[in-house]
Amino acid sequence: MNNPSSRFLYHLLSPLYGLCAVLSLLGPVDARGATYYVATTGNDSNPGTLSRPFKSFKQAIGLLQPGDTLYIRGGTYTEQLDFQGPNKSGTANGWITVAGYPGETVISQFAGGIAYSYGPIKARGNRGYFIFENLILDGINGAYSSGLQIRDGNHHFILRNVEFKNFQMSAMMIKASNVQIINCKIHDSVVDTVQDPPSRRYGIYLSSGDTVIIEGNNIYNNPGGGITVYPGPVHNAVIRNNVIHHNNWMANSNVPGIQLSPVLDHPTANGNGVIDGTQIYNNVVHSNCVNQPTGSKPCGGIEISNGATNTKVWNNTVYGNKGYGIRVASGSNGPTVNTVVQNNIVFENASGQIMNTGVDSIITHNLTTDPKFVKVETFDFRLQARSPAIDAGTDLNMVSVDIKNVSRPQGAAYDIGAYEGSVSGDSSPDTPKDLSLR
């Protein structure tokens, strides 16, 4: 509490601290701390208020304590957000929030210049309870890094409304537990030309971790796949409500829109390459791999392979991918076991709709014929009133809303696919407009 106003409140409210201690035994208490501001027109001699902001991230971060918030005013910044030098971390009752100021555009173009370097945010190690939101992380300056790597002991990170683009590695790597990636835009990663041959990179690379939620994101135009979960261990990940399209345009990459592929003997898995309990639902996965050159390795929409266990694939719309739609396949890591594939629209994928060589798979109530989309030419995958997907699904209490948060069911039964209800009765907005082609 470094602001004068915060110190005043501390002394004013100190008699209540005993009561707060008792309440903390009943559940989490969200600590409300100081708020600081940084602006391109600021000065580090200022107190860091809204009217007199700091100039540098370093000055502001040096003051942050659990529960504090840092607002960044609109502009383009080349300074790194470094939480390791001053060794900063939030706590369970006092998350640190770093956010673009509401209504303003904040662009970070930090470039480390070193192979596999830190990106615009340096926060690896045993630290957590961070929220990052309303930021644009742009690797246009040639940063040979991910936009963010959450790893090396990290935990409890939330990213909301963050845009990642133009990085020469995967936009995001996750090797951590209790991570949420929500409503982010992740696109146009650059082919890694430092390696020979050039290496594929992904939108999100989930390497290991428990209880990771990837929700509501638009992931597109990345040279490798959209979301790859590999090699493990990963438990209880949730991949829902995302639009994943036009990823993988490299000849030497066979990674689809969404991939689960554990590898026991991978060096980073330490003999524990398990991917178990993943839920994949309400996603629109379309047009992946369509921009690969002729003769490329085949890839498609969603792949559950190589020994993944207890995966649920529910209410997705998988359309127009270059290879398969949904593939359940065993591999060198062992049989893929107990995969459930239900209520999915899987249509017009070039090399087949649903392929299954797994063990004890349950594959029911999927639609592989024309679902009567509203307008596939503009990637509007909502359902017309006469769609055969309406009221044709099995009831799934676990999927109580659709990709636009419309309650399920709207009629006599669940609809098949990511959208619930026909367009004539669906008040949800149009599908995202950021559906660019490469």
Instruction: Supply the pLDDT for residue 261.
Output: 95
Q: What is the pLDDT of residue 116?
A: 64
Condensed to tens digits (0 to 9), the pLDDT of residues 37-58 reads 999 999 999 999 999 999 999 9
Between CA 365 and CA 153 the distance in angstroms is 41
- Answer whether residue 260 is part of any domain: yes
Average pLDDT, the chain: 88
Segment 373-432, tens digit of pLDDT: 999 999 999 999 999 999 999 999 999 999 999 999 999 999 999 999 988 644 344 444
**Residue 14 backbone phi and psi in degrees, to 5:** -60, -30
Q: What is residue 23's predicted lDDT score, i.e. its pLDDT?
A: 36
**19 torsion bin: left (phi>0), alpha (psi -120 to 50), beta (else):** alpha
Phi, psi of 255 (to 5 degrees): -85, 130
Cα(258)–Cα(205) distance, integer angstroms = 10
In the chain, the number of structural domains is: 1
- DSSP alpha helix (H) spans, 14-56: 17-24
Mean pLDDT over 4-8 rounds to 40
Burial class (CB in 10 A: 0-12, 13-18, 19+), 4: exposed
Asked whether residue 341 is domain-assigned, the answer is yes
Q: Are strands 373-375 and 380-383 parallel, antiparallel or unpaired?
A: antiparallel
N-terminal to C-terminal alpha carbon distance within the chain: 49
> Is there a domain that residue 201 lies in?
yes
Q: For 147-197, what is each residue's pLDDT tens digit?
A: 899 999 999 999 999 999 998 878 899 999 999 999 999 999 877 666 666
Residue 231 lies in a domain: yes
Burial of 46 (0-12, 13-18, 19+ CB in 10 A): middle
- CATH at 320: 2.160.20.10
Rg from Cα positions in the chain: 23
24 within a domain of the structure (yes/no): no
> Residue 355 sits in which domain range?
170-383
For 309-346, how does the pLDDT look when each residue is reduced to its tens digit (9 = 90+)?
999 999 999 999 999 999 999 988 899 999 999 999 99
Alpha-carbon distance of 10 to 69, in angstroms, equals 17
Residue 296, domain member (yes or no): yes
Position 360 in a domain: yes
- Does 258 fall in a domain? yes
